[in-house]
Amino acid sequence: MRTAFSLYDLPDVRKPRLRAGFGGRRLFSKKPTHECPCGYFNHPEKECTCSPVMVQKYLNKISGPLLDRIDLHVEVTPVPFSELSSTKTSEHSEDVRTRVIKAREIQAARYGPESGIYCNAQMSSKQLKEICVINTVCQNLLKTAMDRLNLSARAYDRILKVSRTIADLAASEEIRPEHLAEAIQYRSLDREGWGG
């Protein structure tokens, strides 16, 4: 079932999501978003029946400040049957789990038990400057992305935090250009007319 965002529900997403009983941990939210009312804009096989004006009006329902608060923007397209039935092997869940556990251990060691910080997403602005140091190549890449995608300061911080996490998953002490490029790719909604 394809549903559109209610204009009345969206501002509630911007409110802090900390609730009693969660121990002050950051809650993650996955919101189904479609880029138009019919749900088929940019679909690889089905044709969108919405006019360009309808699509832009729909995209404008989601504000830039709301998008800035979402760390990862991932577009999921239907998987063709040929890929589902393929005998090719992919990375096993257990291997992914092991990498995630190691990355969490790296982050726990980085922040220490007294800090109250358990993951990169919780970094303060001061810590961001100390921990997410990037070289000149990365600085140029990020500057280009910021200029071309017209990203906000909040998006800048999110990109650095996500790239630090990607580097941790790769067991890399430094943020490399490929980590930063991947983090920038997760800002896909910023470059598709959302938050107008």
Identify the pLDDT of residue 30. 47
Per domain, the residue ranges of the chain are 93-191
Distances from the Cα of 121 to the Cα of 72, 164, 195, angstroms: 11, 9, 22
Identify the pLDDT of residue 96. 94
Identify the pLDDT of residue 126. 92
Identify the pLDDT of residue 192. 52
Identify the pLDDT of residue 97. 96
Q: How far apart are CA 15 and CA 22, in angstroms?
A: 16
Report yes or no on whether pTM surpasses 0.85: no
Q: How far apart are CA 92 and CA 96, in angstroms?
A: 7
Give helix then strand counts, H and E, for the chain.
9, 0
Q: Average pLDDT of each block of 10 consecutive residues along the chain (196 residues)?
A: 46 46 43 68 82 80 72 77 83 94 95 87 92 96 92 90 97 96 83 49
Task: Provide the residue type at 109 as one letter.
Answer: A
Identify the pLDDT of residue 34. 61
Distances from the Cα of 13 to the Cα of 5, 94, 121, 152, 185, angstroms: 11, 33, 18, 19, 23
> How many Cα neighbours within 13 Å face the side chain of 115?
14
Task: Provide the residue type at 21 as one letter.
Answer: G
Identify the pLDDT of residue 93. 93
Identify the pLDDT of residue 52. 84
